[in-house]
Amino acid sequence: GQQLNQSPQSMFIQEGEDVSMNCTSSSIFNTWLWYKQEPGEGPVLLIALYKAGELTSNGRLTAQFGITRKDSFLNISASIPSDVGIYFCAGQLRNTPLVFGKGTRLSVIA
């Protein structure tokens, strides 16, 4: 089946720093999604990308759908303690279930 490579696996950063994480795939997707999951909760959608090259922001978060349709990145600017959690990318081909990356665990040091 399709697999997503998400990196880095974990990050420790100082409050106020910017963060970047990315996902790559060996095959193309029609949709890229970025989720955040906090302990004991389900994933919550942050940003959805539907078009190659699309760059979308949601507050301090910015994500891009790669032109090759095989990759996506998520940036978080000026991190704050509540940004702590696990960030998952997910790719989707039309009319099929999501495929998830393995997640990036973000720790923010105040």
User: Do 50 and 34 meet the contact criterion of CB atoms below 8 Å apart?
Assistant: no
CB of 6 to other proteins, least distance (A): 8
Residue 61: both structure tokens together: 């978060």
Which CB sits closer to other proteins, 66 or 91? 91
CB of 95 to other proteins, least distance (A): 6
Q: Of 64, 62, 58, 56, which Cα lies nearest the Cα of 76?
A: 62
What 3-state class would DSSP assign to 5? strand
Cα within 13 Å of Cα(8), Cβ side: 9
CB of 86 to other proteins, least distance (A): 8
Give Dmax over CA atoms of the chain in angstroms. 42
Which CB sits closer to other proteins, 18 or 38? 38
Residue 11: both structure tokens together: 């990050």
Which CB sits closer to other proteins, 78 or 101? 101
Which CB sits closer to other proteins, 45 or 78? 45
- Positions touching other proteins (CB under 8 A) are 33, 35, 40-45, 86, 88, 92, 94-98, 100-103, 105
CB of 26 to other proteins, least distance (A): 16
